[in-house]
Amino acid sequence: MNLSFTKPISLDEFLKRPEDRCELVNGTLKPKVSPKFKHAQTQGYLYRLLHNWCEEQQIGQVLPEWGMILKRNNTDWVPIPDLTYVSYQRLAAEWDEDAMCPVIPELVIEIISPGQTFGELTEKAENYMKNGIDRVWIVDPQAQTVTVFRKEEGFNTLTKEKSLTDPLFPELELSISDLFAKKKG
């Protein structure tokens, strides 16, 4: 489903709005899809895993729903990825903690929700990388896959039999089957 508001809005107008779950795409507001259980569970699992790693290593921040100001088709674009990772090498010691992501992150993670397609998120991944983001993970809870896009290396889809490792997260191994295992309680 591709809902959007057709009244044009500038970046300045967008930034003055109260916080909500809208992205700025091609000068219009586009509501983010409201997450369902599988999406929320997957986001929570990835957040806990990466957040705990970041806390132990003290080399970066991972945050959910942290908007950023980029360009898409030469117009302002404000996507809100499901998760964003920024290293302390890129993130200044002093930054406005009540603002959009102030730098280009190393990684964004998008989780496919019902009503979204892999093709839509692949296009979004390409736009992220055109803006200097090194990696994008597209997580598909239905297909139980993670597709990793790397700027210089193309993409690779990992299935339940595989594990994801990434030089961004030394010594961290994400089992794809664990990511999608049914959890209770």
User: Number of C-alpha atoms within 13 angstroms, CB side, residue 39?
Assistant: 18
- Tens-place pLDDT, residues 47-58: 999 999 999 999
In a domain, residue 99? The reply is yes
- Tens-place pLDDT, residues 55-101: 999 999 999 999 999 999 899 999 999 999 999 999 877 777 778 89
What is the domain extent for residue 72?
A: 35-180
pLDDT at 106 over 90: yes
Residue 29: partners with Cβ closer than 8 Å, 6 or more residues away = 4, 5, 9, 14, 22, 23
Domains: count for the chain: 1
The whole-number pLDDT of residue 1 equals 41
The whole-angstrom separation of Cα 122 and Cα 23 is 17
- Tens-place pLDDT, residues 115-154: 889 999 999 999 999 999 999 999 999 999 999 999 888 9
Q: What CATH number has the domain bearing residue 142?
A: 3.90.1570.10
pLDDT at 4 over 70: no
In a domain, residue 62? The reply is yes
